[in-house]
Structure formats: structure tokens, C-alpha cells
Amino acid sequence: MSEQVEQLQAASYRTPFQEFVRRFRKNPLAMAGMVVIILLFVVGTTFWLCSVFHVNWPCDPGETEISQKLQPPSKVHPFGTDQLGRDVFTRMLHGARISLLVGFVAVGVELTIGILIGSVAGYFGHAVDSVLMRFVDMMMCFPTFFLILTVVALLKPNFWNVMIVIGLTSWMGVARFVRAEFLSLKQRDFVVAARALGASGPRIMFLHMLPNALAPVLVSATLGIAGAILTESGLSFLGFGVQPPNPSWGNILSDGRLYIFDGWWMTLFPGLAILVTVLAFNLFGEGLRDALDPRLKI
């Protein structure tokens, strides 16, 4: 009993951020996901700088050497070589920055649209809410991946089109989250006080209410990055995503399917990279949700 009293007293002296950090650190799977994400950031940033300054390190990802094609993993080529003699390890390192960039840009577009529509629907309610939510319901009726596939097929398949289209077709969940939070917040005392003081609608929405509605949005964004990376990999695998010679995990995997018996490493390593990355973001997002959920506080 005294131990529980001491824990409650200690919790009363912690700031909300300290309490969040304490709760997050108690989740080993979330911590492991965060470590993997940090490593991916370091790799992605490093090879983005290499591409900006035209530094081919550890070697040129586009350099072909037919005499070295389909070489198994070795000290010289840790992940082997592909059908053109290109180093798979180097191509996967450069592909990491593309996968991360696709994930973050797509989620940025998704959050922008979702927050705007969800905020307006939740704040104004009534007819505005009904019209916007029926539009959201209509968008959710379409199979997302096939919708993306159709739009990308109609447009010129390139890097930027893939990111924008993924974001434009994935915002519905964020809109629902934000709307639900706004519906519960708009009758709170601080919102009523701001309205009584003459604050404008946009000021109340984005300065007072939105910061209090961001917790589920952050979790949704983290999980959305994993979904965007997986979608880009699927599109690249089908030939509608990042186009060769630019390396991405999806098109490396697509090349490997033709040589699955002669070059198993071309499918194993990019497949593991996609699996570990998506799993890391999902574990990190679940850890954020548990740490931010006030119902789980002790």
C-alpha cells in the first residue's frame, strides 16, 4: 500500500512530458522500433547527402558489371549482386532514403487534408459535418490500393506522383480521428471561453482545439508512414512506382522475382528490409498510443 502511495506521489511531481517518456520507456518493443527508425533516418540522411554531393559510397548504385552478375553474398558484396552486376547492398542503402521520403511526404499530404476536413466537420457540425462525412464515406468505399494503381497508371509513373497520390488517397482515417476529437472538445470550457472572448472560428480551431487533438493524429501518422512505405513497395514491384535506374526496395524485389532460384538474395534482403521497417513503425506507433492514452495511467 505504501509503495502505491509513493508511486502516486512521484507521479504528481512529473510533468506530462516526463510521464510520457516514462511510460514509453517501459515498452521494450516500442523502444526497439524507435531504435530501428533512428538507424533508418541516419542511413537515409547519409545517402541523401551522398546523392546531393554526387558521392558514390560505398560504390555507385547504378554501376553495372556483367562479369559479376548474380554473385552470392560475399565480403566484397555483402548482399550479393543483381542480374546486371550491381551491388545489392549499395542499392538497398540508397533505396532506404527513397522509402523514407515517400513515407513522410505522403503522410504530410495525408495529414494536411485530413486535419483540414476533420477540423471543419467537427467544429461546425450539422450540415457541414454531414456533407463532409458523406464525402469521406464515399472515398472509403474505393479499394485504396487499386485506386492508387489506377491513378498512377493514368499519370506518368514517377517518384513525386507516387508520393502525392498515396497521400491524396489515404487521408480519410485522419479526418475521422480529428472530427471525433473536435466533437468532444468544442463543448469544453476553454473553447466556450475563447468563443465568448470573440475569438474567430479559425483561431479557435487551429490555435486552441487542434493542439489538444493531436495525440491520436500522431499515432495515425506513424502508422501511416508504414502503410505508405508498403504501398510504394507494392507499386514499385508492379512497375508503377519508382522507376529504374533509381533504386527502391520494391523494384529491387521486382527484379529478384525473375531470378528467385538463381539469386535468392535479391528477394530475401529487400523483403526483410520492408518487413523490419514496417514492423518498426507499427511498434513505435503502438507504443505512442499506449503512452499517450490517459486511461492506461498508473
Q: What value does the mean pLDDT take over residues 207-226?
A: 86
Query: How many structural domains does the chain have?
Result: 1
State the chain's mean pLDDT as an integer.
Answer: 85
The string of pLDDT tens digits covering residues 153-201 is 787 777 788 888 889 888 998 999 899 989 888 888 888 888 888 888 8
Q: With bands split at pLDDT 50, 70 and 90, how would you rate the model's confidence at 146? A: confident
Q: Is residue 113 part of a domain?
A: yes
Task: Tell me, yes or no, whether 189 lies in a domain.
Answer: yes
Return the number of other C-beta atoms located less than 10 Å from residue 103's C-beta. 28
User: Is there a domain that residue 152 lies in?
Assistant: yes
The dihedral of CA 109, 110, 115, 120: what is its sign?
A: positive
pLDDT at residue 201 in the model: 83
Q: How many CA atoms lie within 13 A of 10 on its CB side?
A: 10
Please give the residue range of the domain that contains residue 238.
Answer: 98-296
Q: Identify whether 289 is part of a domain.
A: yes
Is 2's pLDDT higher than 60?
Answer: no
Q: How confident is the model at residue 133 (pLDDT cuts 50, 70, 90)?
A: very high
As beta bridge partners, residue 81 has 87
* Domain CATH number, residue 185: 1.10.3720.10
Other Cβ atoms within 10 Å of 188 Cβ, number: 13
How much of the chain, in percent, has pLDDT values that exceed 70? Answer: 93
Q: What is the pLDDT of residue 271?
A: 92
Q: Would you say residue 74 lies in a domain? A: no
Q: Is residue 49 part of a domain?
A: no
Q: What is the pLDDT of residues 72-113, one digit of tens each?
A: 999 888 999 998 899 999 999 988 888 888 889 999 999 999
What does the DSSP assignment read for 178-228? HHHHHHHHTTSHHHHHHHHTT--HHHIIIIIIGGGGHHHHHHHHHHHHHHH
Is residue 30, in this structure, part of any structural domain at all?
no
Range in 9-13, 71-75, 181-185, 268-272 with the lowest mean pLDDT: 9-13
As given in the structure block, the three cell numbers for residue 279 are 514492423
Q: What is the pLDDT of residue 298?
A: 44
15 inside domain: no
Residue 81 φ/ψ, nearest 5 degrees: -125, 160
